[in-house]
Amino acid sequence: MFPRQSRTETVDRFDWLSVSYLLGALLLCYYLLPFVSLFASQPLGVVAQRLTSPTVLSAATTSLSASVTSTAIATALGLPLAYWLARAEGPRKTLVTAIVVLPLVLPPIVSGMLLLTIVGPETLLGRLAAENGVALTRSTAGIVLAQTFVASPFVVITAKAAFERVDPALEYASQSLGKSRLTTVRRITLPIAWPGILAGITLAFARAIGEFGATIMLAYYPRTMPVQIWVSFTTLGLDNAFPVAVVLVGIAVVTLVVLNTLGSNPFE
Amino acid sequence: MLELTGLSKTYSGFAFGPVDLTVGDEVLSVLGPSGSGKTTLLSLIAGTVDPDVGSISLNGRRLDGRPIADRETGLVFQDGALFPHLTARENIAYAAIDPDRVDELAATFEITELLGRRPPTLSGGERQRVALARTLAADPAALLLDEPLSSLDAPIRRRLRGELHALFADLDIPIIYVTHDQRTATALGDRLAVVNDGTVEQIGTPSRVLSQPETRFVASFTGTENVFAATVSASTDGTTVRIGEFALRSTETVTASTVAACIHPTQLTLQPANAADGEVENTVSGTVVQQLNEGTEYRLLVSVASLTEPLIATVRPSTGERLSTGSTVRLTIPPDAIHLIE
């Protein structure tokens, strides 16, 4: 009834596992070597000195304040949408998810062009805002608009996954104990989903602070760190662009540390 | 009192109802196979699903259309649905109207030692105790239980079943206990409702439903595995039932000429063919075609000439082990064990 000969006796002896490790190691080297090269070519003392220059400090301040603001907006607007998506079913959910993903798959520079058709100086919205003293381009508001467009899907998609992992039975149980939907979300759903939500917020912040394509279309000034890197690179060369790049690399590393500390790295 | 009137709900591919049901301060066990509508019934009452048509009222107050939180229906889920980020104490306190009741309920359910632990560290039985304590802490006006024992090991299930029986006796509220386990349903229910395909097939006391099934489905689902199409004719003492070539006597009387004759496997008496002495009423000969040792009993399939399906009998091990496959046996069916469904 059963084969008497082991199947392993007939299989190919070629060690595919070692080959796959080797291929993976090659890719890892490709990731790591630029970092090693960056830090090797830039003496820490020189980097630290350049970091204190007014242009770098100004770019860092602009980037941080705009990123915090856009991340806060993305969280405030993204969490309700993420919760709705997690609990919705049917074609509406598919359609809305596709809309949310759109800024992720769109080239950032195209996102910037699209945003200009809505908030550009010649548009209705742009003019109305300008008349009320708020410039939607060439301003921190422009940076925030660009960053929110590009980074907010990270909050929505990651938080949606976190909400989906909360068993709806827990929410029903809470409500059957006499608690309102709002209380249930506040005391049951959010605390359980929180590590995943925080991961989404962290990713959105990292994406926002590194945003370049859409930002440069909406706000060349005030300069963010990525724009400053571009300007330094095109005008003064690679060496002058590195100090700000080091700051961004530092932020990326901190992001990874935060994600792993939360214990719910969405990429795991 | 919980009253359901004309309650129905249609999903794609499944229709529930219409169901009319009244549950007083009693335990109604709802028994049925997977996908029969048991959980839908609870969901409609609890408010997690809205009915298409019909009304639900609890102690005279309409529930349909109200939010879940405003129904006062305590729900106990199969896995307890405890909040994983809260300790057992916090789970109960979350629901407690009176904070002093947390310790009181913990003592009742013998979980005082567990109050500081989080749900993932609790066993299945411990989780269900905490879930029950949490549900009762909210002081519900009706209790809805969705297979709370089904995921537990048999010994813990038996123990908790006994404890639930004692607990339910002290609760003067409508209790609906959904299960696919017949033993639990009959042990806990003052009444038993058998559901199938979205409708209540039969409702009554457990002993009545088991001994007098009104439909073929209820008969087969509650363990009366021998169901045969039969023609009947009146006799002086009950009814003569003709199944295949055999004419058997049933003590029941019916008006229809064709019926389903139901015989519970435990009601059949089997003897080796050579051990039989004298003529015994309702006795037929057959051959054992399968012998299964099920531990506490033997299950025998006996092929009888002119019957399309073998008769199924469950007998004590002392009898069953003597009747191996191929044995010729004599089956005796007591007249009062032949139940007729018109």
pLDDT tens sequence across B233-242: 876 777 888 8
Indicate the residue type of B208: R
Q: Does A174 contact B83 at a Cβ distance shorter than 8 Å?
A: yes
Q: Rounded to an integer, what is the distance from CA A41 to the centroid of its chain?
A: 28
**pTM for the predicted model, two decimal places:** 0.82
Instruction: Mutation target for B interface from A177, A183, A194: give the one with most B CBs within 10 A.
Output: A177
Contact residues of A toward B, CB < 8 A: 167, 169-170, 172-181, 187-188, 191-192
Q: Does B81 contact A172 at a Cβ distance shorter than 8 Å?
A: yes
Alpha-carbon distance B84 to nearest alpha carbon in chain A (angstroms): 8
Mean pLDDT of A149-177: 96
Q: What integer pLDDT is reported at residue B56 of this predicted model?
A: 96
Alpha-carbon distance B144 to nearest alpha carbon in chain A (angstroms): 10
pLDDT one-digit tens code per residue, A117-143: 999 999 999 999 999 999 999 999 999
Min mean pLDDT across A208-217, A250-259, B87-96 is at: A250-259
* Nearest neighbour of A173 by CB, restricted to B67, B71, B81: B81
* Residue from A179, A159, A157 nearest A170 by CA: A179
CA–CA distance, A135 with B45 (Å, rounded to integer): 55
Residue B339 per-residue DSSP state: E
Alpha-carbon distance B77 to nearest alpha carbon in chain A (angstroms): 8
Per-residue pLDDT band for A259 (boundaries 50, 70, 90) equals: confident
pLDDT > 90 in chain B, percent: 55
Chain A residue whose CA is closest to B85? A192
Listing DSSP states for A21-69 in one string gives HHHHHHHHHHHHHHHHHHHHHS-HHHHHHHHTSHHHHHHHHHHHHHHHH
Contact at 8 Å (CB) between B125 and A232?
no
Chain B residue whose CA is closest to A195? B85
Q: Does B94 contact A174 at a Cβ distance shorter than 8 Å?
A: yes
CA dihedral A250, A255, A261, A262 (to 10 degrees): 170
Order across the sheet with B258-263: list the strands.
Answer: B246-250, B238-243, B226-235, B258-263, B338-341
Could you tell me if B81 lies within 8 Å of chain A, comparing CB atoms? Answer: yes
Question: Which residues are A72's β-sheet partners?
Answer: none
Chain B residue whose CA is closest to A168? B81
Q: How much is the mean pLDDT over chain A? A: 88
Token pair recorded at residue B251 = 């003590």
Helix (H, G, I), strand (E, B) or coil at A264: coil
Token pair recorded at residue B264 = 């519970």
Q: Does A176 contact B46 at a Cβ distance shorter than 8 Å?
A: yes
CA dihedral B129, B135, B140, B145 (to 10 degrees): -70
How big is the CA angle at B260 (ends B224 and B262), to the nearest 5 degrees? Answer: 25
* Nearest neighbour of B69 by CB, restricted to A179, A191, A192: A179
Min mean pLDDT across A70-79, A220-229, A246-255, B77-86 is at: A246-255
Q: What integer pLDDT is reported at residue A106 of this predicted model?
A: 95
CA–CA distance, B34 with B52 (Å, rounded to integer): 22
Q: What integer pLDDT is reported at residue A268 of this predicted model?
A: 44
Question: How many Cβ atoms sit within 10 Å of the Cβ of residue A78?
Answer: 27
Pairing status of strand B191-196 against strand B27-31? parallel
* Nearest neighbour of A169 by CB, restricted to B74, B81, B135: B81
Residues lower than pLDDT 50 in chain B: none
ipTM of the shown complex? 0.84
Order across the sheet with B61-62: list the strands.
Answer: B14-23, B2-11, B53-58, B61-62
Question: How many Cβ atoms sit within 10 Å of the Cβ of residue B119?
Answer: 21
Cβ contacts of B69 on chain A, cutoff 8 Å: 175-181
Q: What integer pLDDT is reported at residue A245 of this predicted model?
A: 84
Chain B residue whose CA is closest to A170? B81
Could you tell me if B119 lies within 8 Å of chain A, comparing CB atoms? Answer: no
Q: What integer pLDDT is reported at residue B272 of this predicted model?
A: 83
pLDDT one-digit tens code per residue, B52-75: 999 999 999 999 999 999 999 999
Contacts of A136 (CB under 8 A, 6+ apart): A119, A120, A121, A125, A126, A129, A130, A142, A145, A218
Contacts of B136 (CB under 8 A, 6+ apart): B74, B105, B143
